[in-house]
Amino acid sequence: MRGAEPVERTPQTQAEADEQAQGLALYHYEGCPFCGKVRRAIARLNIEIVLHDINRDPGARQRLIAGGGRRTVPCLRIDDGDTTTWLYESSDIVAYLEKRFAAS
Ligand SMILES: N[C@@H](CCC(=O)N[C@@H](CS)C(=O)NCC(=O)O)C(=O)O
């Protein structure tokens, strides 16, 4: 089982992780347990990801529905510069983030 201590990086690898995370955004809302699971993973992985609360920001909700096809949260928007992917399912989001940002 993984500990709850945040991942530690050198300044350079932290800068690289922060740059990679710039293409990501999490659509969520407070009080959603599945969203909380993803937010805790983000905190543990020590990465900065823009959060869009769809209950507080109707525009974010519209963008989620228009882009991802449904209003279910959490949903991670992955923008790699060429394509945009909308990843639903908290476990899939956590697995994706761990694969991409876990310390090796
Ligand atoms: N299996 C999903 C469940 C997600 C889920 O049920 N989200 C709720 C909020 S806690 C939701 O967005 N419900 C509204 C909807 O699906 O339209 C996950 O693990 O992410």
Residue nearest to atom 18 of ligand 1 (CA): 89
Whole-number pLDDT of residue 32 = 98
Whole-number pLDDT of residue 1 = 46
Cβ contacts of 17 within 8 Å, gap of 6 or more? 9, 46, 47, 101
Stretch 2-15: mean pLDDT, rounded? 87
> What CATH topology corresponds to 17-101?
Glutaredoxin (3.40.30)
CB 47 within 8 A of CB 101: yes
CB 38 within 8 A of CB 26: yes
- What is the pLDDT of the chain when averaged over all its residues? 94
Give 42-89 pLDDT, tens digit per residue. 999 999 999 999 999 999 999 999 999 999 999 999 999 999 999 999
Distance (angstroms) between ligand 1 centre and the Cα of 58 equals 17
Query: Does residue 22 carry a pLDDT above 90?
Result: yes
Query: Does residue 35 carry a pLDDT above 80?
Result: yes
Whole-number pLDDT of residue 21 = 96
Any idea what the Cα angle at residue 42 is, between residues 81 and 84, rounded to 5°? 20
Whole-number pLDDT of residue 103 = 66
Q: Which atom of ligand 1 is nearest to the CA of 88?
A: 20
Question: Can you give the residue ranges of every domain in the chain?
Answer: 17-101
Residue nearest to atom 16 of ligand 1 (CA): 72
Distance (angstroms) between ligand 1 centre and the Cα of 104 equals 31
The number of residues in the chain equals 104
